[in-house]
Amino acid sequence: MGNRLSRIYTRTGDDGTTGLGDGSRVPKDSARVEAYGTVDELNSVIGVLLAMPKLPQNVAACLTEVQHELFDLGGELCIPGHTLIRAEHVAELERALDEFNDKLPPLKEFILPGGGPAAAACHLARTVARRAERRACKLARTENVSAEVLKYLNRLTDLLFVLARVLARHERGTEVLWRHERHKHARPARKTPRKAANKSA
């Protein structure tokens, strides 16, 4: 295979447009570029997560495969009419999701993002995945987007939430729960005393 990137800069995007995989050019802020650009951002955030030390091997293996599939998904969005993400990719995410979730205790409270460096990075990846899904849904309103792409991003967001729980327990032995009852004991707001009436009025 030859060198694909013999030259890093081309100057062709200086006018605010970029080339799609089919050779056409679109504005850099078009819905399609926003969609695959956000998928690229998601892949980078997962790369930061994978760089965390002492990541469980099964989590690292799962996320590494996700990175490859996100690269394919971004390529699909970059080339109108091209298909790379299939039903079996979605099914594999669901299988991994069930496998990781079955080992967790039932969720009875909302969880705050955090719990340790890896868990926090996973929560960040989750929110970027949700944004990538929103961008893909927006694109799908005006252009053709495979249903499997939308399903994949939706399942991936769920998987990242579950993995964040796994990592929080791995790093801290517990998760950071939202303390909704803290408002019950909050002191009432102090009322500002009214100014004394002007006796000369």
Taking the chain, what is the end-to-end CA distance rounded to the nearest angstrom? 92
pLDDT for 28-76, tens place per residue? 567 888 998 999 999 999 999 999 999 999 999 999 999 999 999 999 9
- Segment of 10-19, 117-126, 168-177 carrying the highest mean pLDDT: 117-126
The pTM (predicted TM-score) of the whole model is 0.81
Bridge partners for 19 per DSSP: 25
CA–CA separation, 39 and 157 (whole Å): 12
Tokens 């495969």, residue located: 65
Task: Report the b/e string of 118-154 with b at 16+ CB within 10 A.
Answer: bbbbbbbbbebbbbbbebbeebbeeeebbebbbbbbb
For the chain, domain boundaries: 26-179
Q: CATH topology for 26-179?
A: Hypothetical Protein Ta1238; Chain: A; (1.20.1200)
pLDDT for 135-179, tens place per residue? 999 999 999 999 999 999 999 999 999 999 999 999 987 777 787
